[in-house]
Structures are given as C-alpha cells and as structure tokens.
Amino acid sequence: MHQEDEDYTNPPEEFIGLSDFTSCGSDQLSFRAGDRLLVHTKTSADWWWAELGGLCGYVPSSYLKQDVEDSYLNQGVKEDTSEDTSEDPWQDEEYFGSYGTLRLQLEMLSDRARTEAYRQVILTNSAPLKGKVVMDLGCGTGVISLFCARLAQPKAVYAVEASSIAEHTETLVRQNGCEEVVTVFQGRAEELELPGTVDILISEWMGNCLLFEFMVESVLQARDRWLREGGMMWPSGASLCLVPCQALDYYTERMVFWEQPYGLDFTALQSLAQSEFFSRPRFSHLLKPEDCLATPCDVITLDMLTLHVTDLEKLRGQFTFIVEKAGTFHGFTSWFRVQFQSLERDKTTLELL
C-alpha cells in the first residue's frame, strides 16, 4: 500500500481510535484507543490514510469512530445555542455500530477479570435471586443474562442492547436453552419499554478512567424508570483511583533507546519521541507496586443507588499525595474499583479492581 498522491483538497475528518492498533509495516500508522486521528483519504472500505502527531500512514477503518461534533463543524453546521435536546455524541449510530461487531464483543468477553467478577456475584447471590426480575442493561452477547438464567432461578431476565448484536443475542439465548427466562429487548435505555419494574439492574457500564463513553447516564435513567423501590444496582458503587508513579521500563524503551542504538548517536530524535509517545495517555499500563511513589487515593466515588444524572455535571475530586519514596515522577496511573452489594444483609460486598 502506498499513498503517492494525497488529496488534501477536502478538509480532513477527525476520528477517534476505538482500540489500540499496532502497525505491521512502514506504511501503516500505530495508534491507541482514544487517540484523535485526522483522516485525509478513505482509500478503500478497510484502509484509510490518516495523520497522528505529524505522522501519516494507513489505518484500519474498523478501529475508528468518527468524532460527531467535529464532523458537524466540517460540514458547516452552525452550533445551536438554544436548549440542547440532541443525543449524546457517544450514543449515535456509529457508537452502537461499533458494539455490533464481534471484534469489540470479543475484546470485552476476553476480559476475564470483569466477566468472572459478574459471574461470581450472580453465583454467590443465586439464592436471593430466585424469583426476582433482572435487567441486564447493555447486555452485548448476553453473557451476564445467561449467567443469571443458568446459575440462579430468576423469574425473568430482560436483556437490553441497543446495537445490532442483539439479533445474535436472541440466537445465543435459544441455543443455551434460556428462552423461557431471558427476553432480549433491542433499543436504547432512554426509549425502553419493559413489561414492568425490575428487582435488580445489572450493567457493565465502566470504561477507561471509569466514565469514558459516559454510559453511566443511561444506567441512571434506566434505574429511575424501571428499578423498583428498594431494588439493587450491580455494581452498587464505583471509585476512580489515582496514584503518582514512575514508569522506568516504558520510559527507557521509548526514550533512552534513542541515545545510542547500535553505537550510533540518535539523540536528535529524543524530542520527537517525547512528543509522540508521551503526549497522550497510555492505556492498559501494568503498574508495578514498587513504581507507586505515594499511597493511591479515590478521586471520585459514586453511589449508584443515590447518584443523580445532574450530579454527573459537577463531579469534582480532591486529592493530596505525600511522596513516600525516591523516584522519577513520570505521571499518574488511574484505574477504577467497583463494588457489588450482596442481596443478603449479612453477606459482605464483593469488589472488582
């Protein structure tokens, strides 16, 4: 693949990386989930010519999602300053379209820590779940709904999914013999119509830095409409954690490498390496305990049973760190922690990091 005659007569469109992509050749461009790329030419249905940080190359179109707000500006759509009743930019056809692909579903199902945590919660609460009505919001392939049907004896499970994967979820429900218990509803939470209220609302809504994609708003709206008084939310609570840290291995790999590779002086490229590798967050970083320079703290804590949508507009976190060890401060590492309150009062709350 070679882009010999780039056409820059039309303004580039900004797209957002849905997941990490590592180039397999000199004419491809690596990027990470959340990166904003400028697409200059849609060369084919599968490969586009894009730019990131001054570098250009081919990228797989299936790994990208368009920045809706930016596309409106490119089309000359004037911003409406009146009351905004439009959909959230993340809740458009392209957003739900990405969740309709097996690639993204595979990525989520392969996260064993998350999936096993939900399975364990359902298993340990199997007795009190008996006869209850459960909503699985954003069910995807329906794995959590199937856990409920197989591991407990709920009266009904409403598996709600907005993307096209819902068509396949119905097949999986029948294939696993759960059609008497699990009913699939395809549609957005804001437009949802169910047979009645539910006793438990389960959702795997957490994203990068806990709130990325902002699905939590849809979860709260569904809670207010369909969760009966005294019902339970899973997860019942969530926290965003933060710690100052060093990342010597990563820094060495990306920066020190350019000092003298193969006995040659490449230090002139270090400033470029600095801007390319450290201008954006690094996702899926494996933090070693010894790399923490202070005690981690919870920056934001959410109680899913009492949190309101309006609270999301003014979330603020205050934190103070006391550096407890010598080291090089390279940045902050963040992660989230969620809690699952037991349905039985005398049982402890399960926690997922």
Is the preceding peptide bond at 235 cis, omega within 30 degrees of 0?
A: yes
Tokens 């699990």 correspond to: 182
Secondary structure letter of residue 306 according to DSSP: T
Matching residue, tokens 């059609």:
179
> Within 10 Å of residue 71's Cβ, how many Cβ atoms?
15
What's the CA gap between 245 and 335, in Å, rounded?
A: 13
Sign of the alpha-carbon dihedral angle for 298, 303, 306, 309 = positive
Contacts of 124 (CB under 8 A, 6+ apart): 342, 347, 350
Q: Could you say which DSSP state residue 31 is in?
A: B
Q: Which residues are catalytic?
A: 204, 213
Write the DSSP assignment of 172-219 as a string of letters. HHHHTT-TTTEEEEES-GGG---SS-EEEEEE---BTTBTTT-THHHH
DSSP structural state of residue 308: -
